Amino acid sequence: MRLKPSPRSINLLLLISLLLPLPALALTTDQDQPINIEADTADLDDNAGTTIYRGNVIVTQGSLRLTGDTVTVFSPGRTLKKVIAEGNPAHFRQRQDNKNEDMRAQSRIMTYLVDEEKLVLQEDAHLWQGQDEISGNRIDYDLKTEIGKAIRGEKERVKVIIQPRAKTQPSTPAEPAQP
């Protein structure tokens, strides 16, 4: 059985597309940079391919910065697959190609799926692109396709703030049309 999208969900996806109109990909050089992790403690299970970092955790890779109280890294076979950050809140920031501002996000639970290039924000989720913002209980954002979905919580609705764009002034007055 296939569900038909409601007009409301289609409008929300269009609104998110307007909110993030330019490519939301990270700097192309980020993936070539080493991953640095700082924490108070680290519990490594090399057989399972997991490491749990606790206490003021900071993860950086190029322009990417992820912080949280606890960060769990899933890297089976020494290949990074998933990172889950938990905090009050956890924060994510990353510079994008051809941008002067970082894409920023925060939530209580944040999952970064490396191969899929997806960011899942849960519980009090916020995502900023410049001065524009979207918030809800959960935000799923695909960094490759620039498609996001925000989901309301039991007590709150999805909120979107889109700042007015700067108006461009014509350099010369327009010539009147000739009859």
**Residue count (the chain):** 179
**Is residue 75 within 8 Å of 49, Cβ to Cβ?**
yes
Confidence (pLDDT) at 170:
60
Write out 104-128 in H/E/C secondary structure.
Answer: EEEEEEEEEECCCCEEEEEEEEEEE
Q: At 119, list the tokens.
A: 């960011």
Quick check: bond before 89 cis, omega within 30?
A: yes
pTM for this predicted structure: 0.73
Confidence (pLDDT) at 26:
53
pLDDT digits (tens, 9 = 90+) for 119-157: 999 999 999 988 889 999 999 988 778 788 998 888 889
Confidence (pLDDT) at 76:
92
**Best CA proximity match to 74, nearest among 94, 39, 44:** 44
- DSSP 3-state of 60: strand
Rounded Cα distance, 83 and 61, in Å: 13
Q: What residues in the chain have per-residue pLDDT under 50?
A: 1-25
Chain-centroid distance of CA 76 in Å reads 24
Q: How many CA atoms are closer than 13 Å to the CA of 15, on its beta-carbon side?
A: 18
Write out 114-168 in H/E/C secondary structure.
Answer: CCCCEEEEEEEEEEEECCEEEEEEEEEEECCCCEEEEECCCCCCCEEECCCCCCC
